Structure 1
Amino acid sequence: MEKSRGIFFLSWPEVFQDGVEAVGGKGWNLARLDRYGFYIPAGGVLTARAYQIFAEENDLLEDMAEITQSVNIDNIGEKKIEQKLLLIREKIKAGQIPSKIRDELESGLKGMGLLGEPVAVRSSATAEDPAQASFAGIHSSFLNVTGWESILEAVKDCYASLWTPRSVAYRRKLSLADQDVLPAVVIMKMVEARAAGVAFTCDPQTGREDLFVINANFGLGESVVSGAIEPDTYYLDSSAYFALPRLKAKKTGAKQGMTRTCAGGGTCFVPGGDMASQQVLPDGNIEKLGLLLARVFESLGEGEEHQDVEWAFDGRDFVLLQARPVTALPCYTFDALKNKVQIWSNGNYRDAVPMVISPLQRRVMKDSIDTIQYTSLSEPGYPVPEGFQFSRLVKGRLYCNVSALQWAYYDCSGMLSKDFNPGWGGHQPVIEIEDTDPYKGEIGLERQRRGMKGASLIMEAAANASGTFAEVARSVESLTGSENDQQTNRGTFSNRGTFLLLAILKLNNIYNEKNNRSKVEDETTKKAE
């Protein structure tokens, strides 16, 4: 007999079907993670509709409407306004959850084996976790909630958190109507975390998009999320030609304490301890988590929208607790372009890659073109910012930061921005450069030297092209098997794009190896001099 579908409390597959307007941002993203095969805790979502019925049956709608009319960004800090908000929160906490909602929630949790088990009860507002407004830390969540009555109280506390001065001020600041931000509630099994934290598919401090950043501490992730301690920080290089993210650098934090579950429910902070000086995750697990981040970026972010991920490690596996878009990323660019408008264009790119790029090929295609742009400037000796990316994907199409490219061409070898379009193609706007004589003075001589070296490298590459491509062909053949295995491998690699990816990867490796050898030789020459 087929199980009846929930109305108020939905399982993860049902949450996925109903979407963000019914279950909120946090619940929707968890359902997507579940749908795409990630390991998340058992649980589900009490829908926003349940909150609406709760408000109706407890006669709260009139009070809420009065707050909507009377509270604005200018008077939010006034005592009488704070008193109004306190009163509505107290009414919500004193309210009764209707029996039809209670019964379905109880039955749902029992069916999942969660009734009587410790759970996390977390707010999931309907306007929460989009790219424009994360609502991070605005609404309440409760960990290690034990017992049926405690779960009901935690649900009402989540409802009440919608009406704190901070929550209302946040909505007013973003011009979000109160009726458009309704609280659903995620209820899921507590993870017995040996380690936990947050991770980003970019560097949120610098804006670099070629790095993953992981913050970690022992115990629950609350100590990391709240900023109560200095966590371990791990940096991974996510460049596509490495195939898998590689550990690049790490810093062992002071970890002044850790958050643990308490026997009677809730959590507690335990100061210090012998583990403070230890690295939270071994290197192998850091890279394992890095692979999960790459998958989340591709799945939820579609390779375009960077993700902020909460995770836990239970001693055996990594469990994902939340994922949402990164909402504020600093602009990582050349010093001369900071705080200036960035021009993005698919001119030139659309000639070579005119269609939407297949998800299989997007990451490698983008990083390969970026490698070409980067090394064409760095090889002649120009100091491109480390890890800078000239390209980005927008709805599956490749775009170039022509502001950065125009400046780099000018500062590297003296090309004026007005000469950019004839060489690059298209009709892009040009950046304003005050100095119209790029070759004067010592810096002008350096630009001339780099220009001549760049021309020399192009001629050298042309002369060596046949040998380079022969090496690529041999490498692709070795990857796909011997001639006797070609028919089998063609079944596996039937898409011509796959052969192209293998060739691009090998070209990147060859170029990087030569680049590294060249740098070593240059450093050796400088030391000898």
Structure 2
Amino acid sequence: MTNLVIPMEGIREEHMDIIGGKAYSLHRLLENGFRVPAYFCVTTDAYNKFLDCSGLKGKLIIEFARKDFSKMRWEEMWDAGLRIRNMFMNTPIPAALVDTINSQVPKDFLKRAVVVRSSAPGEDSSKTSFAGLHESYVNVAGMEEILESIKLVWASLWSDAAILYRQELGLDIEHSSMAVMVQEMIEGNVSGIVFSTDPNNANKLTIEAIHGLNKGLVEGDVEPDRWQLDKFSGSIVQHIVPSSRDRIVSLSEKGTLMGSIPQLLSHKTPLTTDEVKQIYEMAISSEKIFGLPQDMEWTIINNELYTLQSRPITNAQNNEKQWYISLKRTFENLKQLRNRIEQDLIPAMISEANALSGLNLHKLNNVELATEISRRQGIYQKWDEIYTREFIPFAHGMRLFGQVYNDVIKPQDPYEFVDLLADSKLLSVQRNEQLRQMAELIRNNTALRRKVENGILEGKFKELFDNFMDNFGRSPYVTEENDIIRLILEFGFAPVSIGANSKDVKKREMDFLSNFKDEEREWASQLLDLGRASYRLRDDDNIYLGRIEGQYLSSLREGKIRLAERGIRYEIENSEVIAALFNDSYIPPVKPIQENALLKQKATDRQIQGQPAGKGSVTGIARVINENTDLFNIHAGEILVCDSIDPNMTFVIPLAGGIVERRGGMLIHGAIIAREYGIPCVTGIPDAISIIKSGDEVTVDGNLGIVVIHRH
């Protein structure tokens, strides 16, 4: 009979490939006398049988054929992971497979709370460590919940972080499989981790401990006490006390709960000296068994030390994997990040941009201007790094909400959750509303339109225009008043309204929240609020960053104007602008023009598969955006074709009949703003701006993710 389930006592060495590294490591420790919670394994045979019997394997093959993983950006990878997860959750485990698993599961496991953990082949081996990349589910009870959690663990094989990490290591992504370990739930009084060799110092061993369950520690939500020991003698070198012991993770009716720690425990060190010694001896013994330094999770209950898992410490664990783990953020972590962004970072960005805008560049001599350009470049680079480090990870707020929404609602459309998030008031939409108001003034007023066309601004129009330029007039794309006036005149031909996405938002919100018990509903409501903030800031933060970039580009533009007066009218690097301003006799080299081979492609009809990002279908004339100034040439109803859209250029979106982007993903800026306006949008079209030419007739099918180029 196929090994679908193997109990702890039935594991043999030949089972390693079908139970995975995590389960087999516990088997080795058990053989050597370690205290391990009882467990059984659902093997990779069960995973593969599920794919074959349910028809899911064919759907995965179609998904893999969409686009080569190696050519996907992280947003596209997350979209793929979301779609696959939704497939798993909407695919029932066939009854025959359920019966087989049921018959092989040790019956005493159905009477207790368990932890459902991943144990993929190759996971936690001597060469790779997937710690933190696959899912685990705590406090699961009953066969129905166990089977549901098993499906979620199977699906976590296809998370964006796991796919990216496998790709980085050159592993076979499409033929990966997953085993699952179902382990007795031990509600320890104290839990923690131990590194038998400190990753930063081979002569030390490090122990981290917290009161309560380990989840708060491994997810980074609870600060631990930390002990560093001499690896060879076991003597304590240092005990680092956390800034506060104020939070604890404990079991709730379903899952776990983060709460305030009892006052008595807040002043109590989690471990005694004897317990530190006991954990030290456990770690050293484990390292001897496996022949490699170990990263172990443990818990203590009733003075008994349990080993929960043990995995090798690898170079991969300490280097490239950390970026992929940063794609996973916990709810508590995201709330803290939101506060930092909204209360500290955004006000600081606004203040810095305002300070830069107050300087009159025309009054600076060339050397002063060169110094100012260099200073502004440094300021922009500083904020760009902060954006990458702080703002991009906050995008996980909408991803986390989407994951929870899909797990609870199980919609056929994996992106249905976005309609709930789109209830936010985006800064780019507020900006476009100001453009619309000015366009309304001239739409039915021929005399005013003629004045505006001739550069005469007065009355209410001038008031609105000045307000717009004060708020949005310095960005990488909005720099010249004449460009904005030309855009407003074009808006006058195209009545614009926000899409009707919000009409049933309240009902969907109620439907979502009604799936949670009373004690969980407040958390679900907070998660929705967090998702909306993440969605809004995903768009708004670029506009704030764009104001700083705009001030940097304004100084560059002033420098180029001065160089043009010296006859330097060709395109040069930014560093050359600074050098030429410092030295009046310096002549920057001319950059050679490189021919793009893609421009030689034969013009023929063709259909291109991308990713659906904005519902609807439209046919129109393409307007390809190759550089910033092309934005102001778009006419109402044209198909906007670009490499990627950032929020600083979305002021033209209301004019577009449809959108085509090279960059892929449902949560990129172009897709977000397209949904706000109800505009058909397809993303993830490779070489879009090279394949499609301005003037081509193009059909954009945002329902199927198809772009058709009609050439006659």
User: Normalising TM by the smaller chain, what interval?
Assistant: 0.5 to 0.7
- For residues 96-144 of structure 1, the C-alpha deviation after alignment (integer angstroms, 9 at most, x for no partner) is 2234443343344444x11121000011111211122211111110001
Residues 1:29 and 2:22 are matched in the alignment: no
Between the aligned residues of both structures, percent identity stands at 27
Task: Say whether residues 1:18 and 2:7 are aligned partners.
Answer: no
Q: How much is the aligned-residue C-alpha RMSD, in angstroms?
A: 2.2
How far has the Cα of 1:273 moved from its partner? 3.6
- 2:219 corresponds to: 226
- Hey, what's the Cα distance between the residues in 2 that align with 1:319 and 1:11? 19
Greater Cα offset, 312-321 or 9-18: 9-18
Q: How many Å apart are 1:152 and its aligned residue?
A: 0.7
**CA apart distance, 1:327:** 1.1
Q: Indicate the residue corresponding to 2:306 in structure 1.
A: 319
2:237 match: secondary structure: strand
- Alignment match of 1:191 (pick from 170, 186, 190): 186
Distance in 2, matches of 1:124 and 1:281, equals 29
Which residue number in structure 1 is paired with residue 59 of structure 2? Answer: 63
The gaps in structure 2 that reach 5 residues or longer are 319-712
1:179 is displaced (CA, Å) by 4.3
Structure 1 residues 272, 129: closer, same or farther in 2, change over 3 A? same
The residue number in structure 2 matching 1:268 is 257
From 45, 52, 69, the counterpart of 1:49: 45
Query: Which residue of structure 2 aligns with residue 392 of structure 1?
Result: none
SS of corresponding position for 2:11: helix
Instruction: Choose from 69, 73, 81 the match for 2:70.
Output: 73
Match of 2:155 among 147, 155, 160: 160
Question: Residues 215, 290 of structure 1: CA spacing in aligned structure 2 closer, same or farther, 3 A cutoff?
Answer: same
For residue 175 of structure 1, report the CA deviation from its aligned partner.
Answer: 1.3
SS state at 2:210 partner:
strand
Question: C-alpha offsets along residues 215-267 of structure 1, whole Å, 9 cap, x if unaligned?
Answer: 0001111111111121011122231xx4xx233321222233111111x2201
- Contact kept in structure 2, 1:131 and 1:326, CA below 8 Å: yes
> Following the alignment from structure 1 to structure 2, what is the Cα–Cα distance between the partners of residues 142 and 330?
22
For residue 178 of structure 1, report the CA deviation from its aligned partner: 2.0
Match in the other structure for 1:277: 267
Q: Where do residues 477-492 of structure 1 align in structure 2 (5 Å cutoff)?
A: none
Determine which of 134, 146, 151 is the counterpart of 1:151.
146
1:364-379 equivalences under 5 Å are: none
Q: Offset at 1:310?
A: 0.4
Show CA shifts across 1:346-403 (max 9, x none): xxxxxxxxxxxxxxxxxxxxxxxxxxxxxxxxxxxxxxxxxxxxxxxxxxxxxxxxxx
- In the alignment, residue 276 of structure 2 is paired with which amino acid? I
Q: Is 1:182 equivalent to 2:169 in the alignment?
A: no
Check whether the contact 1:201–1:209 (CA below 8 A) recurs between aligned residues. no
From the CA coordinates, give the structure whose radius of gyration is larger: 2
Letter in 1 for 2:259: V
**Does the aligned pair in 2 maintain the 1:199–1:309 contact within 8 Å?**
yes
Structure 2 counterpart of 1:105:
101
Give a deviation string over 1:476-507, Cα, whole Å, max 9, x none: xxxxxxxxxxxxxxxxxxxxxxxxxxxxxxxx
Amino acid at match of 2:285: R
Contact 1:48 1:184 survives alignment (8 Å): yes
Q: What is residue 202 of structure 1 aligned with on the other side?
A: 197
Moved more, 189-198 or 268-277: 268-277
Counterpart amino acid of residue 291 in structure 1: E
1:265-290 per-position Cα deviation (integer Å, ceiling 9, x unaligned) = 20111134422232101101110111
CA gap of 1:36–1:101, structure 2 versus 1, over 3 A, is: farther
Specify the SS of the correspondent of 2:119.
strand
Letter matched to residue 58 of structure 1: S
Matches of 1:213 and 1:279 in 2, distance apart? 16
Q: What's the counterpart of residue 139 of structure 1? A: 134
The whole-number CA distance in structure 2 between the counterparts of 1:203 and 1:83 is 36
- Which blocks of at least 5 consecutive residues in structure 1 are unaligned? 332-529
Distance 1:78 1:114, change over 3 A: closer
State TM-score, norm by structure 1: 0.56
CA contact (8 A) 1:57 1:98 kept: yes
Q: Deviations over 1:123-176 (max 9, x none)?
A: 111121112221111111000101221111000011111122222112111111
Q: Secondary structure at the match of 1:97?
A: coil
Partner of residue 95, structure 1:
91
Q: Please identify, of 216-225 and 267-276, the stretch whose mean Cα deviation from structure 2 is larger.
A: 267-276
In the alignment, which residue of structure 2 is the partner of 1:286? 276
For residues 282 and 7 of structure 1, the distance between their equivalents in structure 2, rounded to whole angstroms, comes to: 43
CA deviation after TM superposition for structure 1 residue 212, in Å: 1.4
TM-score, with length taken from structure 2:
0.42
Asked if the contact 1:12/1:34 (under 8 Å) is kept, the reply is no
Shift of 1:31: 1.4
Aligned with residue 247 of structure 2, among 246, 257, 263: 257
Q: For residues 330 and 190 of structure 1, do their structure 2 counterparts lie closer, same or farther at Cα, with a shift above 3 Å needed?
A: closer
Partners of 1:29 and 1:57 in 2: how far apart? 30
Shift of 1:46: 0.3
